[in-house]
Amino acid sequence: MKRQDPILYIEGLTTHFFSKTGVVKAVDGVSFSVSAGEIFGIVGESGSGKTLTGLSVLGLVPPPGKIIDGSIHLNGIDLTGMDASGLRRLRGMEMAMIFQDAMTALNPVLRVDTQVIEAIRAHRPMPRHQALKEAAAALAQVGIPAPEERLRAYPHQFSGGMRQRLAIALAMINSPGLIIADEPTTALDVTIQAQILSEVQKLSRSKGTAIVWITHDLTVVAGLADRIGVMYAGRLVETGTTDDVLDNPLHPYTRGLIGSIPSRTRRGLPLAQIPGSTPSLDNLPAGCAFIERCSRARTACRENPAMAETTPGHQVRCHFPGGELP
């Protein structure tokens, strides 16, 4: 495979929840791709469909949710046509997900070495002593000190930050081509978060891992991601390089997110807030989903805007993008 070929290629992904009370359009026509060694940040408010996008890729959408349209290609293979056992084989070996709660991936009653060795040998049969050596190296790689000793501990004997590093080491243990990280550092303090982000960035570069980093916090992906996708109400509304999106935000929602970040130059001034709240995904307004919160909204916005490229690689879903910043 050529290096620039995407590891992950998603086109029109649509994942809905069906219940008696209606349809929740959790993910509604999401398209993006991520190449080897690249970090793609997905940012958006809580409830915008970020987690469901990740779970869709891994084949872990909980019922009554269902992927109803679109395609997901991993290394050229369409995952949406794959059965449960095929997906299970790929998970852990070709793709892995890291969750906000590290304990999702860890068993509280088993020693860490048992768990890491099992994760290795589930996909790559090898003698225990060899797997143990790999396990220690993997812990060291994510900045866990005294890895041989820590391997003999239980997950609860790790601090929050160390436990999250452990979850990252576990996700990376078989060098999957793709890792989806769903807010794994959100609960950690800023210094530890920054250390972990920097380790992950190094690992992605050195191993060529494609990473999708999901967060509600634009400042997290600002320093981490190569490209950013801004998600709103189940759809991507802006994608581009991190520089494009941060320096020249085109969508009113992206501008709102940037305006609500505390900055040194605006110190003392009140932070801009995006008025209103996220619409409920089972009752979206007709047309642009941002219409009720947007200061630029006009009659044309009652028609749903399509994603359009403004400059190479920079796309926005808005009838009236750009213009002077408020």
Please report how close the Cβ of residue 315 comes to ligand ADP at its closest, in angstroms. 20
Q: Quick one: three-class SS letters along 209-234?
A: CEEEEEECCHHHHHCCCCEEEEEECC
From the list ligand SF4, Mg ion, ligand ADP, none, which binds 24 (C-beta under 5 to 8 Å, kind-based)?
A: ligand ADP
Please report how close the Cβ of residue 285 comes to Mg ion at its closest, in angstroms. 22
From the list Mg ion, ligand ADP, ligand SF4, none, which binds 8 (C-beta under 5 to 8 Å, kind-based)?
A: none
**Interaction residues for ligand SF4, span 270-309 (CB under 6 A):** 288, 290-291, 294, 296-297, 301, 305
Closest CA to 142 of 207, 54, 213: 207
Q: How many residues bind ligand ADP (CB under 6 A)?
A: 14
Please report how close the Cβ of residue 69 comes to ligand ADP at its closest, in angstroms. 16
**Interaction residues for Mg ion, span 158-177 (CB under 5 A):** none
> Interface with ligand ADP includes 10 (CB under 6 A)?
no
> Interface with ligand ADP includes 21 (CB under 6 A)?
no
Residue 194: partners with Cβ closer than 8 Å, 6 or more residues away: 223
As a whole number of Å, the CA-based R_g of the chain is 20
> Interface with ligand ADP includes 50 (CB under 6 A)?
yes
> Interface with ligand SF4 includes 252 (CB under 6 A)?
yes
What are the strands of the beta sheet with 95-98, ordered from one edge? Answer: 95-98, 178-182, 210-215, 39-43, 227-232, 235-241, 314-316, 308-311
> Interface with Mg ion includes 215 (CB under 5 A)?
no
Residue 136: partners with Cβ closer than 8 Å, 6 or more residues away: 147, 148, 151
Q: What is the DSSP letter of 103?
A: G
> Interface with Mg ion includes 51 (CB under 5 A)?
yes
> Interface with ligand SF4 includes 250 (CB under 6 A)?
no
Q: Is 24 helix (H, G, I), strand (E, B) or coil?
A: strand
Of the candidate residues 6, 9, 17, 75, the single one contacting ligand ADP (CB under 6 A): 17
Binding residues for Mg ion, rule: CB under 5 A, are 51
